[in-house]
Amino acid sequence: MTVHDDRLAVLAELERRILWLASWTIHQANHVREAGEVKVGGHQASSASLATIMTALYFDVLRPQDRVAVKPHASPIFHAIQYLAGNQPLEKLQNFRGLKGAQSYPSRTKDTDDVDFSTGSVGLGVAQTLFSSLVQDYVRAHGWMKDRPEGRMIALVGDAEMDEGNIYEALIEGWKHGLRNCWWVVDYNRQSLDAVIREGLWQKFEQMFANFGWDVVILKHGMLQQQAFAEPGGEVLRDWIDRCPNQLYSALTFQGGAAWRKKLLDEIGDQGPVSALIDRRSDSELAALMNNLGGHDMPSLLKAFEAASKHDRPTWFICYTIKGFSLPLAGHKDNHAGLMTPAQLVTFQDSVRVRPGHEWDKWEGATLEAAKLEAFVHAAPFFAKGPRRHSAASVAVPDKLSIPANSGKTVSTQMGFGQILNEIAREDSEFASHIVTTSPDVTVSTNLGPWVNRRGLFARDALADTFKAERIPSTYNWEFGPSGQHLELGIAESNLMLMLSALGLSHSINGARLLPVGTVYDPFIYRSADQLNYACYQDARFMLVATPSGITLAPEGGAHQSIGTPLIGMAQDGLCAFEPAFIDELAVIMRFGFDYMQRNGDGDPDETTWLRDQTGGSVYLRLSTRPLEQPVRAMTDELANDIIQGAYWIRPPTPNTSVMIAYQGIVAPEAIAAAGLLAEDRRDVALLAVTSADRLNAGAQAAERARQRGNAGAASHIERMLAKLDRNCGIVTVVDGHPLTLSWLGSVQGHRVKALGVEHFGQTGTISDLYHHYGIDTNAIVHAAQAASSGRTVRYLRALAN
């Protein structure tokens, strides 16, 4: 045996063990552990499809610095590999899909066995690898890779996953940025969830990827097939295989050797060399030959990966595979969630020589020595150096972010955002150098311009601004270079969120802390909501700045108005949402945000707020283009703290207060004016400025849970604030967004609430037209306040126009 043969023998053995363990993991989760419960689905077939490719990668090809996004349903294969490598405890595998067990789809945050990128929502993990590669280039160009080798970002992709549009959006962006070090390995089993996929898709993909500068590697035939093609009559067989429709190939695979023989003899039998080629093989040999596609042929895979390892060009591998390879489910079009029956499992178990009761033994049934296999696994480069995740120290955030003297001026939060970043950009600080901004073609219109003017755009190779070179006056300096700190993206919000996800994981992936800030038009959060959710699920850390928002963007037109985004901000786990009205609030919030993004504790919630502030997360700022007159006030520590907790009193209640107005964000002037107009007819109207309905709500929920668990004294910020209101006091809430954002305030202490907000959209007009039309103007607030409180008719109330 040569060294090469020896290695192949070990890899073949590992592949068998992996396939067995993955199949057993799924089987016992369904048939043993959860007997009687709803079947959680099989995915034995989908896993088996990638068994050979993943064995090749994890035990031979990968290096510790490489990062992989594994196709969701290959999760059992991944966990089995980590189990063999000693990184996945048996209890977790036994508890696959159970509470705290190995996850159904690989999860960075919930699994403990070294998952690089979460997957589950198909398409996203794929694109994530591309953006991670761009971020690695960014980190390297800024000198933060130190002596760490560059990793390859690899996605294992289902062929039906290639239908996801976000993959193509990413492809374009990758090309623009000169993507390197990225492999997408397609598991071309020609089956999706529902069906067998269209013929000839690979040719379309091949052209497309080649067009975008990728190397394309096609692994169609394994070595057995290649050898057979060299036999007399072999060319005819090759031609038949190449012409065979996907559906038929799948069906024959499912049926096995005898069916192959009949079909092949019927269609290409010649009583000569072709028939002889077929007849030389037993049924099982013939089935093995026909199943020997490139993606299940270890030598072909190793050769292809080795060749691609010699360069850094992005490479798209299309590996022909069989869904359900080696299992009785192989090839059946309905096998996606299929499970082997207990009887089939017994037959399979016999075939891999696993004795009943020894199902979890790592090397049970192996034909090679356990010690040899164990040694091989631990010597595999990917596992040899232990845990592969990095960490990076936090970047110190200044105690205070500067803002220009705005007092008494009229400024929008969007303008304030630009001002604050501009002030940061002026300074030569560690803090400033770790900020990286990105935007999908709305850099200028979201006020990132001043920052970009100072800090430049990132590109691996410098590119001058032609307008500047030609001395044509322009407000913006558009110069690209390796030290630039802004990543300009095309108009694809999906790419923005995935870029933020990649930037926001850099401390873990690259060992270099970045402070990513991404800007987007608020309504287009919907377009990328799944990507945003995905980024949060992976615990990426970033600041998302969304502007303009609501109906307040009035002249921009009805199509761009956003109603539901405050609710997204509240409901999105891992994302802390703020909607400030004034620039001094924004400065406090951004300072907090840069710090919060870097927190990494998992201690108990803060006793005063009951928020998970030690853990940290990402931040969403909902801003506006509406200029507001800025308050003249000093930012005391107390005020700053209240702003962070989510609300502060502009006018606190007294025992005489019969109505309180609570507003969030840009409708501040209407709320303030309404409180003024009510003054003559209601005593001591209270006015609450809400900066984060999200944090108020999260605090109240957490405090309630704490009380349920026996901590009777737990109280959150909003609970303490509203405890000051008389029991009969009415509350009016107002927000330029869905009224549910604040209507829950009534449930905190049981007050009556009239919730104003926006439920319909699409009308163009001035801000005052629209506020009136949708009922969030001063008059509407006064009207609601009158209705929410007892007392005489308010004299300044106008009758509402129909």
Ligand X SMILES: Cc1ncc(C[n+]2csc(CCOP(=O)(O)OP(=O)(O)O)c2C)c(N)n1
At 191, list the tokens.
């089956």
* Of 44, 191, 250, 561, the one binding Mg ion by CB under 5 A: 191
Q: Tell me which residues in 77-96 interact with Mg ion (CB under 5 A).
A: none
Report the relative pairing of strands 730-735 and 410-411 from DSSP bridges: unpaired
CB of 382 to ligand X, least distance (A): 22
Do strands 410-411 and 457-458 pair parallel, antiparallel, or not at all (unpaired)?
unpaired
Q: Which amino acid is at 174?
A: G
One-letter amino acid for residue 719 of the chain? E
* Residues 500, 533 contacting (CB under 8 angstroms): no
Q: Give yes or no for residue 161 binding Mg ion (CB under 5 A).
A: no
Q: Is residue 321 near Mg ion by the rule CB under 5 A?
A: no
Q: For Mg ion, give the closer residue by CB, 54 or 619.
A: 54
Least distance from ligand X to the Cβ atom of residue 762, Å: 28
579 neighbors 412 (Cβ within 8 angstroms): no
Q: Torsion over CA of 349, 354, 358 and 362, rounded to 10 degrees?
A: -110
Least distance from C-beta 316 to ligand X, angstroms?
15
Binding site partner of 373, from Mg ion, ligand X, none, Cβ cut-off 5-8 A by kind: none
Contact letters (x/-) for Mg ion, 229-268, by CB under 5 A? Answer: ----------------------------------------
Binding flag, residue 189, Mg ion (CB under 5 A): yes
Q: Which is nearer to Mg ion, 159 or 595 (CB)?
A: 159
Question: 730-735 and 659-664 as β-strands: parallel, antiparallel, unpaired?
Answer: parallel
| Residue with smaller CB distance to Mg ion, 158 or 233 | 158
- Residue nearer to ligand X on the CB measure, 189 or 519: 189
Nearer to ligand X, 191 or 657 (CB): 191
Q: How far apart are CA 727 and CA 751, in angstroms?
A: 7
Q: How many angstroms separate the CA atoms of 3 and 272, rounded?
A: 39
| 44 near Mg ion, judged by CB under 5 A | no
Comparing CB distances to ligand X, the nearer of 81 and 647 is: 81
Partner from ligand X, Mg ion, none binding residue 46, C-beta < 5-8 Å depending on class? ligand X
* Residue 448, CA distances (Å) to 386, 437, 455, 643 in order: 41, 8, 11, 24
Characterise 610 by phi-psi region: left (phi > 0), alpha (psi -120 to 50), beta (else).
left
* Alpha-helix residue ranges (DSSP H) falling in 336-478: 342-351, 370-379, 381-384, 413-426, 430-434, 449-455, 466-469
Q: Using the 8-state DSSP alphabet, how is residue 397 labeled?
A: P
DSSP classification of residue 667? G
The answer to whether 21 and 366 have CB atoms below 8 angstroms apart is no
Q: In this complex, which beta carbon is closest to ligand X, that of residue 73 or of residue 108? A: 73
| Contact status: 47 vs Mg ion (CB under 5 A) | no
Instruction: Name which of 157 and 755 has its Cβ closer to ligand X.
Output: 157
Choose between 156 and 647: whose C-beta lies nearer to Mg ion. 156
How many chain residues bind Mg ion (CB under 5 A)?
5
196 DSSP 8-state letter: B
Q: Shortest approach of ligand X to residue 196 CB, angstroms?
A: 10
Element (H, E) at 533: helix 529-537
Residue span binding Mg ion (CB under 5 A) among the ranges 159-167, 328-336, 490-498, 518-526? 159-167
**Contact mark string toward Mg ion, 331..360, x via CB under 5 A:** ------------------------------
Residues in the chain: 802
- The DSSP H or E segment spanning 500 is helix 493-503
Residue 158 binds to Mg ion (criterion: CB under 5 A): yes
Pick one of Mg ion, ligand X, none as the site partner of residue 332 (Cβ within 5 to 8 A by kind). none
Which parts of this chain interact with ligand X (CB under 6 A)? 46, 49, 72-73, 120-122, 158-161, 187, 189, 191-193, 323, 336
Residue 384: contacted member of ligand X, Mg ion, none (CB under 5 to 8 Å, by partner type):
none
- List contacts with Mg ion (CB under 5 A): 158-160, 189, 191
